[in-house]
Amino acid sequence: MDGTVVRAERLTKRYADRLAVDSVSLTVRPGEVFGFLGPNGAGKTTTLRMLLGLIRPSGGRASVLGARPGSPAVLARVGALVEGPGFYPYLSGRDNLRVLSRYRGLSDRAADAALDRVGLGPRGGDRFRSYSLGMKQRLGVAAALLGDPDLLVLDEPTNGLDPAGMADMRRLLVDVAAGGQTVLLSSHLLAEVQEICNRVGVIAEGRLVAEGTVADLRGADALLLRAHPLDRALAVAMQLAGDDAVEVADAGLRLDAEASLVPRLVRELVADGVDVLEVRAAERSLEEVFFQMTGPDPGGPPSAPTAQEVS
């Protein structure tokens, strides 16, 4: 398995004249929560379907747990929720999981345990069609958890959940990862990915535009300084951080420097008679990075089809 749980190489899916997924390459390592991030329609679900063997790639190749995606031996070790939960509407949540337990060769107890794990135990006897969107989503995650698979593939698992439900789901995913299971999670919610994912792949218009840790994608640290007078502050900052590391931005200065520089910077500025109004770490949110990569402004949409490996 060469230390990877999922390896995709130039994975491509073409529908008639539309390229849904274009040469996506990514790796998911054991025990990590990998976030697959992209706007709606970017190709996330199509990629996940290929990794589960539900659809055939038009090009490229992939391996999951060291074998061909969708092969029975692999699927026995994978739990998945792809593009919304698919269940028999006339069956109760519990019976739906019992049907799937039979398909997996598990006992009814496994179904009950999965139901309890997502907090649906008390409503397990109700028909699936009477569930709210959030309950349906939780049942989908319960189905994915059946049999404690080595890899969980979850497509937008917090869809339809209220804020409390989303928080519960995040806790559950972190808990799952802490138990050693690998999670491949697609989402268009940046905060979610930022909070629970070790590494992230960003996809836009079918192409993977970046892959790396959240910190990598955010880029190097920077400091924002507001001070008066600005020209003297600029001189001091350039002296400390270097001429090329300082730029004027938003009625202040932006320094490409680490937070450890702050005490010395403030001392020097005060000693030079500069009034320091504000100094703070200017950490780019994943959202800013994301929109820069996928948005219509300069820097996006991605013009280069090759993935940018930033880790």
Partner 1 sequence: MTALIRSTRGELLRLYRWPALWVLAATWLTLNVVFGYVFDYIAYRTGDSAGPNTGVPGEELLAGVLPDAVPAVLVQGMPMFGGAILMILGALAAGSGYGWGTWKTVLTQGPSRPAAVGGTVMALATVVLGVVLGTAAVDLGVSNALALAESRPVDLPPAGELLEAVSVGLLVLGMWTTAGMLLGSLARSPALAVGLGLVWALVVENLLRGVSGLLGGLAVVTDHLPGTAAGSLVGALGASGQSGGAPGVLTILPGTTALAALATYFVAFTAATLLLIRRRDLA
Spatial strand order in the sheet of 59-64: 18-28, 6-15, 59-64
The reply to whether 228 sits near partner 1 by the rule CB under 8 A is: no
Contact 299, 288 (CB under 8 A): no
| C-alpha–C-alpha distance, residues 213 and 310, integer Å | 8
Among 103, 122, 250, 296, binds partner 1 (CB under 8 A): 103
Phi then psi dihedrals of residue 184, to 5 deg: -110, 115
Among 78, 142, 269, 279, binds partner 1 (CB under 8 A): 78
Nearer to partner 1, 86 or 301 (CB): 86
**Segment 244 to 283, residues that bind partner 1, using CB under 8 A:** none
Among 7, 44, 49, 138, binds partner 1 (CB under 8 A): 49
63 strand-pairing partners: 7
> Pairing relation of β-strands 151-155 and 78-81?
parallel
Among 6, 24, 43, 87, binds partner 1 (CB under 8 A): 87
Spatial strand order in the sheet of 275-281: 246-249, 252-255, 223-228, 275-281
| C-alpha–C-alpha distance, residues 186 and 201, integer Å | 9
**Segment 107 to 166, residues that bind partner 1, using CB under 8 A:** 143, 146
| C-alpha–C-alpha distance, residues 154 and 140, integer Å | 9
The reply to whether 66 sits near partner 1 by the rule CB under 8 A is: no
The reply to whether 43 sits near partner 1 by the rule CB under 8 A is: no
The reply to whether 61 sits near partner 1 by the rule CB under 8 A is: no
Nearer to partner 1, 76 or 235 (CB): 76
Among 10, 104, 123, 188, binds partner 1 (CB under 8 A): 104
Nearer to partner 1, 111 or 173 (CB): 111
Nearer to partner 1, 80 or 257 (CB): 80
The reply to whether 40 sits near partner 1 by the rule CB under 8 A is: no
DSSP H/E element including 181: none
Tokens of 296: 């219509």
Binding site for partner 1 (CB under 8 A): 49, 52-56, 70, 72, 75-76, 78, 80, 82-91, 95, 98-105, 143, 146
